[in-house]
Amino acid sequence: MGFVVTIDGPAASGKSSVSRGLSKLLSVPWVSTGAFYRGLAYAALHSGIDLKDKVALTELAMSSEWRVVMTDEKTQVWFRNNDVTSEIGQEQVGNVASQISGYPEVRSSLLDSQRQCAFVGRGLVAEGRDCGTVVFPQAEVKIYLTASSEHRAQRRAQELGLNQQDLVAQQKQRDQQDSTRKVAPLQVPPDAMVVDTTEMTLEEVVKKIYAFAIERIRQ
């Protein structure tokens, strides 16, 4: 297993764009761990599973009905041999992902496959909510990305072509759910560098994190 850079943070804080940029500079793959929760949420919604049925969700998590594939541009999700990557980006799927990610059984059933991503290249950039605290607690570099809730809603609204005001409320609810759940809540890892991206361009954020990461990896 090579070095690991973890990037955690709330919804729409820019984790995927930053991870993609950083992975290019470091020449290592990147993975969105959110894609595992979104993939499972999508598969559950399309399999008619009761979203409160933890046993059925855990079985589905382990099934070959769906899979996650890392590419340079995106973390893809395939469901029954169809690429559903753009569908899992929908807010509804994100909200269901947040809901089912509160079940400890579901979290542990996805953990192994998330960790396997670190064995593909000579390093990995992994983004999500608990990458620095639970998935890769031994990571060499830990980052916590944040931005004002208005700024995050504005970004997501542009991406999805939705109303910004509706998104502010939805994201607040999702952040609250992700930060207060009992298992692996969203939190700043103790040894992480916190980057507030509200007033920064994507390029500035990537540059800053790259400089920090290179220092740490060389040590």
Please report, as ranges, the residues that interact with ligand DC according to CB under 6 A. 11, 32-34, 37-38, 94, 97-98, 101, 128-131, 174, 178
The distance of closest approach from Cβ of residue 128 to ligand DC in the complex, given in angstroms and rounded to an integer, is 3
Of 3 and 42, nearer to ligand DC (C-beta) is: 42
> Which candidate, 198, 143, 108, 150, places its Cα nearest to that of 15?
143
Other beta carbons within 10 Å of 131: 31
Of 98 and 149, nearer to ligand DC (C-beta) is: 98
At 66, list the tokens: 């769906």
The distance of closest approach from Cβ of residue 38 to ligand DC in the complex, given in angstroms and rounded to an integer, is 5
Of 26 and 68, nearer to ligand DC (C-beta) is: 68
The distance of closest approach from Cβ of residue 218 to ligand DC in the complex, given in angstroms and rounded to an integer, is 27
> Which candidate, 34, 35, 29, 38, places its Cα nearest to that of 5?
29
The distance of closest approach from Cβ of residue 29 to ligand DC in the complex, given in angstroms and rounded to an integer, is 16
Residue for token pair 């998330």: 114
The distance of closest approach from Cβ of residue 11 to ligand DC in the complex, given in angstroms and rounded to an integer, is 5
75: three-class secondary structure by DSSP: strand
The distance of closest approach from Cβ of residue 7 to ligand DC in the complex, given in angstroms and rounded to an integer, is 10
Query: In this structure, are residues 143 and 7 in contact, taking their beta carbons and an 8 Å threshold?
Result: yes
Alpha helices in the chain (DSSP H): 15-26, 34-45, 54-62, 91-100, 104-116, 149-160, 164-180, 202-218
Of 29 and 34, nearer to ligand DC (C-beta) is: 34
Of 94 and 189, nearer to ligand DC (C-beta) is: 94
> DSSP assignment, residue 181?
-
d(CA 131, CA 147): 19
Of 5 and 131, nearer to ligand DC (C-beta) is: 131
> DSSP assignment, residue 138?
T
